Amino acid sequence: MNRSELMNRKQRIVIKVGSSTLTHPETGAMNLTKMERLVRILADIRNSGRDVVLVSSGAIAVGRKAMNITERPKEQDLKQACAAIGQSRLMMVYQRLFAEYNKITAQVLITKDTMIQDTMRRNARSTFMKLLEMGTIPVVNENDTVATDEIEFGDNDTLSAIVAALIHADLLIILSDQDGFFTADPRKDPDAKLVEEITFITDELEAMAGGAGSDVGTGGMAAKVSAARIANDAGADMVIANGNDMNNITRVLEGQNVGTLFRAHRNENFHLIDYLRKER
């Protein structure tokens, strides 16, 4: 099946956007132009009759900017304080922008404990299903104000894949600061080649993945490949595309050869709860 046919069938889509995509690199302030374009595109996806969930980083980055903290905080309590400050500010912007397109957002904050505990996981899924049924656009983030090393996902790439698995999404789009998955780090190797499609994630492929990303983000390409494995095993295709141009979301859904497509290969032995407990 070609990309156009594949994307035409997608009805439940999770889109992840990182801090480095949402903020100006020079100042760390919110990039309102990008956010407005993102919101307009998501609203139009919803208008087409498809479900859409946004997994959005940015709370810590927005909070630290508000408090004039120039570097990413390392202390747990400072990170959580910045998240508490930034989360409400970030959601206020999202709510105002989505309201311009007559869309209602719903904030969903999750920790790993939410997914590991059976009752909480079932409740989270039921809440997602009801929110989508009501026509809202859930905006998801890790609950950084209470998460500790023992109960945090660590990056929103992983969180977005887990959300996709939880709600049985059929497509996950991760917006990156790169055009997709390369054979090497394109910032360092001029001979690096973009891989347009990956049908199966091998150990060799994971070894090729890079490390940590930018100053405001935490997930590098390694985290994105790990997210692809979760999404693919759960039955969802995944695309890594460049978030510097929000129109790439539309191009992906039109079936254009944008970014890197990781083809789903549902693993009947994959169970989300088993994965989460193993990673704890």
Mean pLDDT for the stretch of residues 20-29: 89
Domain ranges of the chain: 3-279
Amino acid 154: pLDDT? 65
145 pLDDT above the threshold of 60: yes
* CATH 3.20.20.480 correct for 3-279: no
One-character DSSP codes across 85-129 = HHHHHHHHHHHHHHHTTT--EEEEEE-HHHHHSHHHHHHHHHHHH
Instruction: Supply the mean pLDDT for the chain.
Output: 88
Grouping H, G, I as helix, E, B as strand and the rest as coil, residue 170 is coil
| Structure token digits, residue 13 | 């889509």
38-90 residue pLDDT tens? 999 999 999 999 999 999 988 889 999 999 998 888 888 898 899 899 999 99
**Mean pLDDT highest for which of 187-196, 203-212, 265-274?**
187-196
DSSP-derived letter for residue 215 is: S
114 pLDDT above the threshold of 70: yes
209-254 residue pLDDT tens? 754 444 443 346 888 998 999 999 999 999 999 999 999 999 999 9
Pairing state of beta strands 237-242 and 197-198?
Answer: unpaired
Largest separation between any pair of C-alpha atoms in the chain: 50
The pTM of this model reads 0.91
Sign of the alpha-carbon dihedral angle for 175, 180, 181, 182: negative
Amino acid 8: pLDDT? 94
